[in-house]
Structure 1
């Protein structure tokens, strides 16, 4: 399989990604190890870096997410961790937190999270098509779209780099 076919196959895999909506997240509290498993299982198919307990503790320490109650995390924290995991490769965590706060100021967190996941999933399903930022007057809608475009572009670029970098490593190893 050549590089182009491999990339196209990856695009096709992304067309079938199903991301959890708010109601898909557990509606009961989870301990750290359960949170780690859930987040990494959820985002693993996207190739997103795995999350660790140290990362989550750091988010709590820096008030990027709310502290757990009796060492248990709730749906709101799970949604925040998923969003942060998707956005942190492109933005500083305090910038991500500000963006989440800005978007949820006008919408309920559930509605804002589901809207984000709907749009992200739609973009992943349309990989290979062209897309642009919507020309709406609503700055929050544009903010969401730009963030989603950045995530999709990052996923595409990382995959392409993996494919292009591998043959270069093979050439170096044969010398």
Structure 2
């Protein structure tokens, strides 16, 4: 089994599109895809996995997950929305993503600065979450090692750590889904 530090370094936990990565000029779709590929390529689980495709972008646009595109060019705001969708799509359905981002999408007429400030805060929280996750993983591994110290099978430790991480993932996913569901209740009022 790889060391925990080796595993964590492969996760690319702080791999995000930073505002400084996004040019101030509008991009064509191929340039958008290239930016996402360059940023997230190392974070893909399998080589054949696609980070972002033309079809995905078109579906997000048709589904109202991003503001309308003008002249086939994507603004910095579009890039922010696509980055947020990229983060959410691993856990939430497209409908849940639309509901989650609806306030931002509908408020996209607000200044670009407000959206960029929101995104900066998100990136800052993501960095702190990554740091906490590293510490939590170390703590989980210590707990597993302690519980299984009388066992003599390394595979048990490996399996137990997988189960522990999946359990934590499920807890966080369920909490996020409940928060999304509360958005539906708020919109119905």
Do these two structures clear the TM 0.5 threshold for a shared fold by scoring above it?
A: yes
Q: Which has the higher contact order (CA 8 A, sep 6+)?
A: 1
1:108 is matched with 114
* Counterparts in 2 of 1:102 and 1:69: CA distance versus 1, 3 Å: closer
* Counterparts in 2 of 1:120 and 1:153: CA distance versus 1, 3 Å: farther
2:125 is matched with 119
Alignment size in residue pairs: 131
- Residue deviations 1:109-168 (CA, integer Å, cap 9, x gap): 11111111111122223433139xxxxxxxxxxxxxxxxxxxx949xxxxxxxxxxxxxx
1:93 is matched with 94
Distance in 1 between the 2:86 and 2:63 partners?
A: 15
Gaps of 5+ in 2: 138-167, 171-189
* Counterparts in 2 of 1:129 and 1:50: CA distance versus 1, 3 Å: same
1:130 is matched with 136
Distance in 2 between the 1:34 and 1:78 partners?
A: 11
Distance in 2 between the 1:97 and 1:113 partners?
A: 17
RMSD: 3.1
Q: Any conservation in 2 of the 1:65–1:77 contact (CA below 8 Å)?
A: yes
Structure 1 residue 8 displacement after superposition = 2.7
2:80 is matched with 79
Q: Any conservation in 2 of the 1:15–1:126 contact (CA below 8 Å)?
A: no
Distance in 1 between the 2:53 and 2:12 partners?
A: 27
Normalized against structure 1, the TM-score is what?
Answer: 0.62
2:175 is matched with none
Distance in 2 between the 1:66 and 1:16 partners?
A: 28
1:63 is matched with 64
SS at match of 1:26: coil
Distance in 2 between the 1:118 and 1:43 partners?
A: 18
1:167 is matched with none
